Amino acid sequence: MVYTTTSLKPVVGRILRTTRLTDLTYANDILEWLAEGLDLMLIRWRLDKTFMTLEVKDFTAKLPCGLVTLGAVIYRGKRLRKGTNSIDPRIKPWLTINSDIESYFISDTSVKPATINAQNSSLYKGSNITQSTNALTNADYYDLQYNYIKTPFEKGTIIIAYTKQPVDDEGYPLVPDIEEARAALFWYACMQIRITGYVFAIPEMNNLTYLEERATKYIRKAKNIIKEQSEDEKESTKQLLNNLIPPSNYYETFFMGGEQRKYME
C-alpha cells in the first residue's frame, strides 16, 4: 500500500540527465509515454474525487477536461437519474412527437430544440393517438454523449461529482512515491525512445530486449507494491469474510442471530 505521491517532473529530469537527450521534439512524446506507463501499472484507478459546477445552455453542458468517471449529477438539490431513452433528451417528455421521426435522433448539439419540438403529432407515422390529460409529469434526468451532458431543461446549474487523474501545480501527473514506479517509467520511456530509432550513448540501452525486460521487471514490482493491502485493509477483509459464516446454531434458532456482527480476535 502506498499513501503518498510525487510529481512526474523528476522522472522527466532523470530521463534527460541519463540519456543526454538533445532532441527536444521528444518532450511531448515523453509525457505521453509516461502516461502509458502509469496505465500499465494500473495507477489510473487511483483517482482524485472532485466536483464542478456546470452551466446548462441550450440543453447542453460541456464536460470538464480530465474527467475519467462520472459519479453523479445534481440539479436543484437532487440527484438526477441517468436517462435510458435513445431519443434526444431535448424532446420534452410525454408530448406527442413530430412524424418526421429521423429528426429525433440528431446528436449534433448545435441543432436548436425548437426545430425538434416544432410540431405536435404522433411518434408513430400515420397514427392519430392523442396525449392523455393524465400523462406522467415531466421528470428531470440527464444523458451523455462524448464531451457533453444533455438535459431536458434548457438552462440551469448542475453539479457533477467525478474522478480525475491527479496532477501537480504545473499539470504533471502524480505517481506513487516509490522508487520502483519511477524506475518503471524511466525504462518504459527509454524503450519507446529507442523504438523511434534514437541511439543512446550507453551501448546496453540500444538493445530493445534489454530495455523491455527492465521496464517489465519494474512495472511488475511497482504494481505489486501499489496493490498490496495495508494492515487495516487486511483486517477489514478478514472480518468481512468472517461475517459471512452463519452462527453454529443458525438453523436451530430459525435463522436468528445472523444479523449480529462477529469479530475475530
In this structure, the chain runs to a length of 265
Q: What proportion of the chain, given as a percentage, has pLDDT over 70?
A: 73
Residue 16 clears pLDDT 70, i.e. is over it: yes
Question: Is 57 within 8 Å of 155 (Cβ atoms)?
Answer: yes
The per-residue pLDDT for 87 is: 63
Between 249 and 80, name the one with better pLDDT.
80
Query: What number is the average pLDDT over the span 133-146?
Result: 62
Please report which confidence band the pLDDT of residue 184 belongs to, taking 50, 70 and 90 as the band edges: very high
Residue 194 clears pLDDT 60, i.e. is over it: yes
Query: In whole numbers, what is the pLDDT of the chain averaged over residues?
Result: 78
Residue 135 clears pLDDT 70, i.e. is over it: no
Question: What digits encode the pLDDT tens for the residues 208-239?
Answer: 999 999 999 999 999 999 888 888 888 888 88
Q: What proportion of the chain, given as a percentage, has pLDDT over 90?
A: 27
The per-residue pLDDT for 261 is: 59
The per-residue pLDDT for 127 is: 33
Query: What number is the average pLDDT over the span 244-257?
Result: 71
User: Residue 65 and residue 67: Cα distance in Å, rounded?
Assistant: 6
Query: What number is the average pLDDT over the span 157-182?
Result: 88
The per-residue pLDDT for 233 is: 83
The per-residue pLDDT for 129 is: 33
Question: What digits encode the pLDDT tens for the residues 81-129?
Answer: 887 766 666 665 555 655 565 655 555 656 565 554 543 333 333 333 3
Domain spans in the chain, listed from the N-terminal domain onward: 5-45+170-227, 48-164
Between 114 and 253, name the one with better pLDDT.
253
Query: What number is the average pLDDT over the span 175-196?
Result: 93
The per-residue pLDDT for 160 is: 94
The per-residue pLDDT for 220 is: 94
